[in-house]
Amino acid sequence: MTSAEQEARHAAWEVALEQDRLPPFVEQRLRDAGAGRTPWVATMTPAELLLAKTHGVRPIATVSGTCWYSFGWSWTEGHAEGWHRALRRIGEEAFAAGANAVVDVKMRTIKHGFGSGMDFTLIGTAVKVDGLKPSPDPIIATVPALEFVRLLEMGITPVGMAVGAAYDWLGNVGGFGQGYGSNWGSSSWQIQSEIQPWSSNPVYTLTDFWERIRREAHAELRRNASAQGNGVLAHTHFGQLLRRERDKQPPAYLGRHIVIGTVIDTPRNAPVPHGIEIVLDMADRTPLVSGSVSRNDVYGGEIGEGEGPI
């Protein structure tokens, strides 16, 4: 690629990101794939391809949505916005490919040491279903193709992704980029009285504050999902309770919580048509329990060093 071509591509990307659409060369690639003029590309395994094919689900192209988002006054809301933008963009690519859905959508982020903020990326496989017209609004399914087909069979449509994020300060800290607590200004004194070096006791003020943030994040998740479906399988939970020391005052606390899940649409009490057979695997190591690493582990879970279950 010549430097002039490179510059032209960069300019096209800039215009596309500004106008919330795709660069012409990406759109063309996806249209060609959708029309069968170029080979299909799928993140599916051969087993997934097999099952998808039996149900008339055919791969078109690998599609993605990326947004590098810098956090201003709210890290928490920045994460929610970053994922939402990535979702819109992967949807645009799927639409250009003439897809009915994107399956196997994985959340990705690059652990980097440059710039502020972080990248929010979604990658998946755009698919079409035999006999159906392309959807003006392809569904974004954060489940592998194998599970996608199984869910469809059972009347459950994975339709998208929902994000619930909430944060608050306990004790006003003021200043740009610091945020203000809501109605918790005097509570930090209360916490000081609840934390006595020798006594073992619940810290009720902090617990109530922290629980409220979690609940708000869950309520936000419900609100975000309710425009798409009637259920969420929440696979990612991330929360932090941080303390900031203050001069001549008790510390202030920042609580932030993010929960992300796959939105599904299913009739209430839909039957599960398949029978379930109990089998005992005679192999000493079974593939049924291997590969348990989370697909969307962008936050590394809540469990870290010195922490654990129970």
Partner 1 sequence: MADDIPKHALERLEGLRREGHPDGIFTSDFSVNEFLLVRKAGFEPIGLCVGSCIYHLGFQFAGWGSNVELEQLSLAMYEARALAMERMKLEAAQMGADGIVGVRLTVKRLEWDRKVLEFVAIGTSIVHASGHTGFKGKDGQPFTSALTGQDFWTLLQAGYRPLEMVMGSCVYHVARRGPLATLGSVGQNVELTNFSLALYEAREIAMERMQLEATKAGAEGVVGADLHEGSHNWATHVIEFFAVGTAVLPIEGHEQDDIPDPKLVLSVNV
Residues 133-152 that bind partner 1 (CB under 8 A): 133-139, 143, 147, 150-152
Per the listing, tokens 């920042």 go with 254
Q: What's the min distance (Å) between Cβ of 94 and partner 1?
A: 11
Q: What's the min distance (Å) between Cβ of 61 and partner 1?
A: 17
Q: How many whole angstroms separate alpha carbon 62 and alpha carbon 208?
A: 45
The residue within the footprint of partner 1, chosen from 6, 178, 270, 297 (CB under 8 A), is: 270
Q: How many whole angstroms separate alpha carbon 273 and alpha carbon 112?
A: 46
| Contact stretch for partner 1 (CB under 8 A) within 68-76, 117-125, 171-179, 300-308 | 300-308
Q: How many whole angstroms separate alpha carbon 209 and alpha carbon 97?
A: 46
Q: What's the min distance (Å) between Cβ of 24 and partner 1?
A: 24
Does 39 participate in binding partner 1 (rule CB under 8 A)?
no
Whether residue 91 contacts residue 280, with contact meaning beta carbons closer than 8 Å, is answered with no
List own/partner pairs for 242-251 with CB under 8 A and 24 or more apart.
Answer: 244/173, 246/171, 246/173, 249/171, 249/188, 250/171, 250/188, 250/189, 250/191, 250/192, 251/171, 251/188, 251/191
| Contact stretch for partner 1 (CB under 8 A) within 59-67, 84-92, 115-123, 129-137 | 129-137
Does 276 participate in binding partner 1 (rule CB under 8 A)?
yes
CA 51 vs CA 106, 125, 126: distances in Å: 20, 15, 16
Does 46 participate in binding partner 1 (rule CB under 8 A)?
no
Chain centroid to CA 22: 22
The residue within the footprint of partner 1, chosen from 1, 4, 279, 293 (CB under 8 A), is: 279
Closer residue to partner 1 (CB): 17 or 134:
134
**Nearest 10 degrees: Cα torsion 66, 72, 76, 79:** 0
Does 297 participate in binding partner 1 (rule CB under 8 A)?
no
| Contact stretch for partner 1 (CB under 8 A) within 18-26, 28-36, 55-63, 165-173 | 55-63
Closer residue to partner 1 (CB): 5 or 284:
284
Chain centroid to CA 175: 31
Among residue numbers 212 through 251, which ones bind partner 1 (CB under 8 A)? Answer: 214-215, 218, 221-222, 225-235, 237, 241-243, 251
How many residues interact with partner 1 (rule CB under 8 A)?
93
Strands 249-265 and 157-170: antiparallel
Task: Using alpha carbons, select from 193, 219, 197 the residue that is nearest to residue 206.
Answer: 193
The residue within the footprint of partner 1, chosen from 200, 247, 248, 293 (CB under 8 A), is: 200
Does 63 participate in binding partner 1 (rule CB under 8 A)?
no
Among residue numbers 166 through 195, which ones bind partner 1 (CB under 8 A)? Answer: 194-195
